[in-house]
Amino acid sequence: DVKVTQSSRYLVKRTGEKVFLECVQDMDHENMFWYRQDPGLGLRLIYFSYDVKMKEKGDIPEGYSVSREKKERFSLILESASTNQTSMYLCASSLVGSTQYFGPGTRLTVL
């Protein structure tokens, strides 16, 4: 079974803090994705990566950066957290042109 894990289920941070969200997959997938999910807005793509050290902006990259130093790990970084980044963050991975598998999500609250 494919397993995608995320470092925290719940996280509370203060405005201005640097925040790291980690995602690890164990199926040697090339593609990895970060989404945020907000009520009424559905899932929106922040960034994705199709290979180690490769990244592409999604629909809402502003205020975020990513890092993929190893194939199995994709990190989302909030350089200076703001209250409008309070959200559910979901990581996914897939082979090229195939099924996406999601992690359990991280519910981030920025105070």
Partner 1 sequence: GIQVEQSPPDLILQEGANSTLRCNFSDSVNNLQWFHQNPWGQLINLFYIPSGTKQNGRLSATTVATERYSLLYISSSQTTDSGVYFCAVSGTYKYIFGTGTRLKVLA
Closest CA to 10 of 109, 110, 107: 107
Q: Examine residue 105 and tell whether it contacts partner 1 (CB under 8 A).
A: yes
Residue 84, both tokens: 């409008």
Q: In angstroms, give the least distance from the CB of 6 to partner 1.
A: 11
Q: Examine residue 71 and tell whether it contacts partner 1 (CB under 8 A).
A: no
For partner 1, give the closer residue by CB, 18 or 39: 39
Handedness of CA 49, 89, 6, 17 (dihedral sign): positive
Near partner 1 by CB under 8 A: residue from 50, 61, 72, 77: 50
Q: What is the DSSP letter of 51?
A: E
Q: In angstroms, give the least distance from the CB of 13 to partner 1.
A: 19
Task: Number of residues interacting with partner 1: please give it, by CB under 8 A.
Answer: 26
CA–CA distance, 68 with 23 (Å, rounded to integer): 10
CA distances from 83 to 14, 21, 55, 110 (A): 8, 16, 25, 5
Q: Examine residue 86 and tell whether it contacts partner 1 (CB under 8 A).
A: no
Q: Examine residue 79 and tell whether it contacts partner 1 (CB under 8 A).
A: no
Q: Which residues bind partner 1 (CB under 8 A)?
A: 31, 33, 35, 37, 40-45, 48, 50, 56, 58, 88, 90, 92, 97-102, 104-105, 107
